Structure 1
Amino acid sequence: MTTYYRDPEVLITSSGVHMNNQDFRLPELIRVWYTRGARDWGVIARRGALGLTMLLPLAAGVLAIGVALVIEATFATTLAFLVGGVLVGLAVVPVADLLLERVDRSYDRGSRSLEIWGRVPGGDVLLLRTDNAQRFGRVYRALQRALEPAVRR
């Protein structure tokens, strides 16, 4: 028996599938397909907020440098604005790395729910529902690999 995928909720082997607390033998699965739910605009808004969080300090730094160059102030004030603007811009670098990592993880998870459905002799059954796009891809590919040899027989 070959194991194609295993996690605490899903087991896909060459002999059968365990998903959604249900067990199916591979020959029982007549057809398998997936559906995509509506976008979660909250996830997209959080990504936008993270982007703004990264850009606002940069904009403040550029604004401080611009003000330093435009206003007619003493040399010390102009220098303070320039140094302050550069420091604010540089302070963004470590924070941006953390925020970009969060954005990457949000894309891995996805912005919509994904479902795997199967047709069995008793009708259509929901095999898996997840918001995690990466996990969905692994499970769906494993299911396709498991069903491939069954089709050739």
Structure 2
Amino acid sequence: MLTYYRDRTVEVTSVAVHIHGRVYALSELEYVWHLEVQADPSVRRRAASRGALNIGVVVAVILALLGIVFLVTATLTNPGTAAAVLVPLAVVVLLVAMAGPMLEWVLHRFDRSYDVGSKVHEIWCVRHGKELLLIRVADETRFGKIYRSIQRALENHP
């Protein structure tokens, strides 16, 4: 028996498709297709949080640029306050140093949100003459892996 795909809830083998504890023999599947359906609230929240992260990064960059302009302007207009400018500059440098790990987390969230996507996919089949929903997936990468593995299993099934 050959395994095409396996995760916590789905396993596709050369004999059957196992989804959430249910087993569908490949010989029983007459036709398999997929649909893109209306996103549920959790998927819409994912897209909204991606937008909030985008806005947060843009605002942070603008604030950093304004801070640098302020420090340079304060130093050039009043050279005697250079010592007073060094304290805020040290604070800015410290904040930038601490921002690295936070920025890494934000960028990881961006990458993950684009990998997962903002759509919901369903995989359907005809089994014993009836249409049957096999699985509904909100993770685009996972959906692609599952659907392609089912296709490969059916192509290679005698």
TM-score by length of 1: 0.81
Number of aligned residue pairs: give it: 151
- Structure 1: how far apart are the matches of 2:11 and 2:114? 25
Gapped regions of structure 1 (runs ≥ 5)? none
* 8 Å contact from structure 1 (residues 38, 112) kept in 2: yes
Of 27, 44, 69, which aligns to 2:47? 44
Asked if 2 retains the 8 angstrom alpha-carbon contact of 1:31 and 1:118, the reply is yes
Q: 2:113 aligns with which of 106, 118, 127?
A: 106
Change (3 A) 1:58 1:83: farther
TM-align CA RMSD = 2.4
Q: In structure 2, list runs of 5 or more residues that go unmatched.
A: none
* Corresponding residue of 1:12: 12
Instruction: Describe the superposition over 1:75-126 as per-residue Cα deviations: whole angstroms up to 9, x where unpaired.
Output: 2234444444444444322210111112222223322221111122332110
Q: Counterpart of 1:98 in structure 2: which amino acid? A: W
CA distance in 1, matches of 2:27, 2:16: 8
The farther-off stretch of 61-70 and 138-147 is: 61-70
- From 52, 59, 63, the equivalent of 2:62 is 59
Rounded Cα–Cα distance in structure 2 between residues aligned with 1:58 and 1:90: 14
Whether 1:135 aligns to 2:142 is: yes
CA distance in 2, matches of 1:20, 1:88: 47
TM value normalised by structure 2: 0.78
Q: Taking every aligned residue pair, what percent have the same amino acid on both sides?
A: 37
Q: Larger relative contact order (C-alpha < 8 A, sep ≥ 6)?
A: 2
